[in-house]
Structure 1
Amino acid sequence: MFGEKMTSVGKKLIRRRVVDLSSEDTRFARCLSTLDLIALGVGSTLGAGVYVLAGEVAKEMAGPSIVLCFLVAALSSVLAGLCYAEFGARVPKTGSAYLYSYVTVGEIWAFTTGWNLILSYVIALLAFGVSESALVNNIFTVVNLMVLVFVIIAGFVKGDIKNWQLSEEDYINRSHLEPLDDTKEKAFGSGGFVPFGLEGILTGAATCFYAFVGFDCIATTGEEARNPQRSIPIGIIVSLLICFVAYFGVSAALTLMVPYFLLNKDSPLPEAFKEVSWEPARYAVAVGSLCALSTSLLGSMFPMPRVIYAMAEDGLLFKSLSSINSHTKTPLSATITSGLLAAVMAFLFDLKDLVDLMSIGTLLAYSLVAVCVLILRYQSGQLNSPKTMEMLELNGNEEERVIMNPTVTSASAQQKEMLTLAMLFNPPADTPTTLSGRIVYICVSVIAALIMVICVVLTLKVTALKDANVGWITALVLLFVALLIPTIIIWRQPQSNARLNFKVPFLPLLPIFSIFINVLLMVQLSGGTWVRFAIWMGVGFMIYFGYGIRNSVEGKNAEERCARVEKPLGHPGLDPSPGAAAV
């Protein structure tokens, strides 16, 4: 009896969402163009951080090589952005990474992702109608970009390339100090373009990575974009490219105008213009930072109510949060709840704690999206209408079921499909099958576990690795070899030939590398952050197991379908593999 109950609970935890893509009906207003999405992504990503972050990283971590920090951070963000773009083309519905996880890896992971996205978006409150918000956001984003273009041009005009070639003598003369002691040398480094070495670039890149957080808000607009399958991928990639160019240009201009060790980390740009005797330019910077703050707040609060709405609509959060205001066509209850939650969190934690919590939630969501892309690309299932599949089960013959849904294979085909060692590296089929999908699912699980172990070793045993400790180096090499084996197995499996407007290139390497970077950054966070994160997740799981698991709309729909569709004994049924996210 106990075993049956545990089995039942386990099935509920991994049940996957049925997504109906046969209809474009939505309770939201479809009013956002591709340009609106690009402006939303740029506005939420290119926030006030561009006016502060560059100074802090350049002065304390990287010097002029901050431009390389932003390059590394941009590459890391693009990896996550590509994964978001494919899912935006595949599942153009409200919910972002939450929905992506729901249709791929199951309900408990979807709740975990959505709960962490809520944590990531806890910043402020804004409840405009979508079209009005888009207009305000577009105006502020244009003003912000114009100010940044002015800063970049002014920096290159007034800058001096010698500030990228500073020596110890320059430091002493410009700072009016005595010869360097240990403390002063720590502030100056070794001079030149890379004063703090490769370690400084990597440390700076880890900080600069968070400057690119925000583009994922585009993925939550699936039901408000006019043409989501085209607009979402374009919006994500173009907005990341614009943000990288802006960050790169501003940081280059800043370090050309002022020696990095003289930067004011709290107000770098106004003080830089003062240094080069262009004090009136400070007013332009003030206008730009105000617009940047406004668009950043909008970009952060735009997706949060929509994630809450999507979870409430699915029954995982309280149903009252899924109401849509008839006038603004926005989830007003979810927006108000978001604001109250933000106020409580702001009261309980200081800014640094909130930023760290935001980082861990965002990185976890990015990792799960990469996992979902990796799994779903190698599955045979397609996202079909639940009504279509039900009618097919009731009235279709076996041949029709196989044609309409590749995960439903004939009994004879299933009997022939046997797992062998040769099949792992040389599968016989050119298209995904149930077995190949299961192989990929297991390999991805193994890869995720190995990446976590590797990242912990790289973080906790970095001193031993620098000292060339033979034992730890050998262990790390063995772990990478073990990681290579399931990667090769996935690479050899057949991919889905479903036609999409955008697909992630270089599978399986790109999503795996994205997971690795995200987990490595998560491991860098402090123990206190992990404790606060555990408390947040504990509260979330109390809500899920106390309310969500019993009120899940997907669970009720599955029960209704089972009641209406009587399957004869021995019927192969629907594929329970991850790819049937779909069915």
Structure 2
Amino acid sequence: MRGDSWFSNLCSSALRAKTLTSPSETLTRNGPGEGLVRRLGLFDLILIGIGASIGAGIFVVTGTVARDAGPGVTISFILAGGACVLNALCYAELSSRFPAVVGGAYLYTYVAFNELTAFLVFAQMMLDYHIGAASIARSLASYFVTLLELFPFFKDNIPNWIGHGGKEFFGGVVSINILAPILLALLTIILCRGVGESSVLNACMTGTKVVIVLIVIAVGAFQIDVSNWTPFAPNGFKAIVTGSTVVFFAYVGFDAVANSAEESKRPQKDLPLGILGSLFICAALYIGVCLVITGMVPYKLLGEDAPLAEAFTSKGLKYVSILISFGAVAGLTTTLLVGLYVQSRLYLGLGRDGLLPSIFAKVHPTRHTPIHSQVWVGLVAGILAGLLNVHVLSHILSVGSLIGYSVVAACVVTLRWKDKVTSRGPTRWISKRQEGLICLVTVVCCGFSGGLSYRLNASFIILIVAAVVAVLAIIALLRRQVYADPTGFSCPGVPILPAICIFFNIFLFAQLHYEAWVRFVVLSIISVGIYSFYGQHHANPETSALYIGVCLVITGMVPYKLLSEDAPLAEAFTSKDLKYVSILISFGAVDGLTTTLLVGLYVQLRRIKKSDGTLTGEVVPYNIVPLDTPALTNAIGTFAEHLIDLERNE
């Protein structure tokens, strides 16, 4: 019986969802002295998106893919950029719908589906973030040492274990690197100082990176020989499509903007613009670099390690190669900085919801940043980067990004159902929802089977059949469901566009290394175990929704700078001549503090009582009683004053 009860509790907990139904209900606590602070404007958000997307890869990936796709690599980047635009439109709608809560894909999944699915999405994305941060830190250390070696004093005098590679043990699995953890520690300290300082650093480094890329494009444009663009697609269109599946991951990072929701000044307006704006800028830069590199040197002569730098060196422009090294350092710095920033905000969201220990939900009262979460992600990345050769794990990455993008697209569809169909009665809503979910799962299966057949060079008929079945499922979604347009930014073409996103994302998932699939399954099983024994017992999605609703009201009625410290909510209503609401608030404060005090006394007595019923006589450090006793006294006094004023007015 106890086993059945445990399993039923697990199922009920796993299937519950977060109740945030409108943009207004997502405004979190942002008063003076607590919570995150809204300091990021549209320009800052665009820089975050660019900083997260463009790393050193712009100087490397373009050339390596061009070796197979030829000058057609430009089309590869256009196709991949188009696919990312579709995903970005889905992110833009949800960031506009829930504009002021951290969490990104995790939050959207929690609202649209359920708690367990949201936790699984978080786990998959977080593993990518942790390993990715460690890998980027190692690459940054290597590039940094390369810059130092430009000076004669450092050349050939820096040992490998400081920056390059690292001293290896146990067959290369353990690889000691000193510089990578130091760089991570410095960036973590900057992030802990506040979003203002970190955004300034990101702006400077991203600006430097973009300027260097523009210089590379401008200088390279004068070295282009148009004959190098012929033949444009030497290995056919399939090589271009294969190249697009590789360069797709060069755009990954615009979702970081969605995790800046709680620190954006105008989230409902700026988040969609930040997501789409950063993506279009990145696409333009990538395409410009592709045209330059394939026009300067015949694609067959491009190197594998540093193709762009080698192309300029072959033209006698070595100073541009040095600029590229500086650009790589700037690019990796911003990518790492934004990655650490996003991780801490995800941990903050789960800590608030109870799915992780509450220490991750704490925000520094003056720095307005989740220091505990920030230190944790920096520590994890530092250990991985300092001790392990994380580059060997690169083939199991990108799972989290593709899963997150796919689930976000599905969230757009399901939330559109909820908006319109819930009023028709629960029975019909459930049946309609089940029909829609079956259609979405069908699209997922078709995307995976089509991608697998393409990867294995199976009969082209399998891919055609998978595409046809997916189209039929999309038609069923379109014909059998009713969709409502949300307030704010609206993703066009629902459900067709999100379904295409899902198909393409899962198609790419099928192209990943088989060990990435194993990682997906194993991590999912581990995550279910963690949720079963911790998350389900501590999660409380409704509590944060109540806080959010109250904070919406108080920050919407009065400018936050005018809020008092003693009774901000009551005074806000009094300033609007709604004193009867202030009386209700005072009564609620008395009631709430009384119950809190009673529970505190009960718990404290239970803690200091021996098994035989006698008291231990020792003082237990429990803060509820000394904290809430004077607060209750003040609340009773305030309530009495309201009653006296009410009697006088009558």
Q: If the TM-score is normalised by the length of the shorter chain, which range does it land in?
A: 0.7 to 0.9
- Residues 440, 490 of structure 1: CA spacing in aligned structure 2 closer, same or farther, 3 A cutoff? farther
Query: Match of 1:121, SS?
Result: helix
Are 2:47 and 1:33 aligned?
no
1:271 & 1:336 partners in 2: Cα distance? 39
Read off the aligned partner of 2:376 and give its amino acid letter: T
- Residues 335, 482 of structure 1: CA spacing in aligned structure 2 closer, same or farther, 3 A cutoff? same
Read off the aligned partner of 1:212 and give its amino acid letter: Y
The answer to whether the 8 A contact 1:450-1:479 is kept is no
Aligned to 2:450: 458
Matches within 5 A, 1:210-229: 210-229=249-268
- Residues 491, 84 of structure 1: CA spacing in aligned structure 2 closer, same or farther, 3 A cutoff? same
Matches within 5 A, 1:386-405: none
Work out which of the residue numbers 64, 68, 81 in structure 1 matches 2:75: 68
2:387 & 2:407 partners in 1: Cα distance? 28
Are 2:99 and 1:98 aligned?
no
Aligned to 2:214: 149
Aligned to 1:79: 86
Are 2:275 and 1:236 aligned?
yes
Are 2:483 and 1:495 aligned?
yes
Aligned to 1:206: 245
Query: Match of 2:323, SS?
Result: helix
* Alpha-carbon displacement from aligned partner over 1:36-92 (angstroms, at most 9, x marks no partner): 000110111011110111111112x21111101111111111111111110000012
Aligned to 1:566: none
1:460 & 1:485 partners in 2: Cα distance? 20
The offset of 1:323, in angstroms, is 1.4
Read off the aligned partner of 1:25 and give its amino acid letter: R
Aligned to 2:534: 547
* Alpha-carbon displacement from aligned partner over 1:145-164 (angstroms, at most 9, x marks no partner): 11111111112111100111
Work out which of the residue numbers 271, 296, 301 in structure 1 matches 2:340: 301
Query: Match of 2:354, SS?
Result: coil
The answer to whether the 8 A contact 2:40-2:264 is kept is yes
Work out which of the residue numbers 315, 319, 322 in structure 1 matches 2:358: 319
* Alpha-carbon displacement from aligned partner over 1:402-459 (angstroms, at most 9, x marks no partner): xxxx8456xxxx4xxxxxxxxxxxxxxxxxxx56644553234223332343234334
Aligned to 2:19: 18
Work out which of the residue numbers 121, 126, 132 in structure 1 matches 2:197: 132
- Residues 327, 452 of structure 1: CA spacing in aligned structure 2 closer, same or farther, 3 A cutoff? same
- Residues 161, 435 of structure 1: CA spacing in aligned structure 2 closer, same or farther, 3 A cutoff? farther
* Alpha-carbon displacement from aligned partner over 1:291-317 (angstroms, at most 9, x marks no partner): 111111112111111101101110101
Read off the aligned partner of 1:499 and give its amino acid letter: T
Normalised to the residue count of structure 2, the TM-score between the two structures is 0.69
Query: Match of 1:504, SS?
Result: coil
2:513 & 2:297 partners in 1: Cα distance? 33
Query: Match of 2:410, SS?
Result: helix
Name stretches of at least 5 consecutive residues in structure 2 with no aligned partner: 135-183, 547-650
> What is the RMSD computed on CA atoms of the aligned residues?
2.6
The offset of 1:341, in angstroms, is 2.3
1:463 & 1:547 partners in 2: Cα distance? 39
The offset of 1:494, in angstroms, is 2.5
The offset of 1:205, in angstroms, is 0.8
* Alpha-carbon displacement from aligned partner over 1:23-48 (angstroms, at most 9, x marks no partner): 45231011000100001101110111
The answer to whether the 8 A contact 1:118-1:308 is kept is no
* Alpha-carbon displacement from aligned partner over 1:447-480 (angstroms, at most 9, x marks no partner): 3332343234334444997656xxxx3x666655
Aligned to 2:638: none
2:381 & 2:524 partners in 1: Cα distance? 16
Query: Match of 1:284, SS?
Result: helix
The offset of 1:104, in angstroms, is 0.7
Aligned to 1:44: 52
- Residues 88, 480 of structure 1: CA spacing in aligned structure 2 closer, same or farther, 3 A cutoff? same
- Residues 379, 353 of structure 1: CA spacing in aligned structure 2 closer, same or farther, 3 A cutoff? farther
1:465 & 1:266 partners in 2: Cα distance? 28
The answer to whether the 8 A contact 2:447-2:502 is kept is no
The offset of 1:200, in angstroms, is 1.0
* Alpha-carbon displacement from aligned partner over 1:545-571 (angstroms, at most 9, x marks no partner): 111100012277899xxxxxxxxxxxx
Work out which of the residue numbers 58, 63, 66 in structure 2 matches 1:58: 66
Aligned to 1:175: none
Are 2:513 and 1:526 aligned?
yes
The answer to whether the 8 A contact 1:117-1:304 is kept is no
1:217 & 1:66 partners in 2: Cα distance? 26
The offset of 1:522, in angstroms, is 0.9
Aligned to 1:562: none
1:155 & 1:522 partners in 2: Cα distance? 35
2:513 & 2:455 partners in 1: Cα distance? 18
Percent identical pairs in the alignment equals 32
2:459 & 2:502 partners in 1: Cα distance? 27
Are 2:443 and 1:378 aligned?
no
* Alpha-carbon displacement from aligned partner over 1:329-375 (angstroms, at most 9, x marks no partner): 11111112112322444468644554333300110011100000011
Query: Match of 2:112, SS?
Result: coil
- Residues 557, 361 of structure 1: CA spacing in aligned structure 2 closer, same or farther, 3 A cutoff? closer
Work out which of the residue numbers 289, 303, 306 in structure 1 matches 2:328: 289
- Residues 198, 408 of structure 1: CA spacing in aligned structure 2 closer, same or farther, 3 A cutoff? closer
Matches within 5 A, 1:4-15: 6-15=7-16
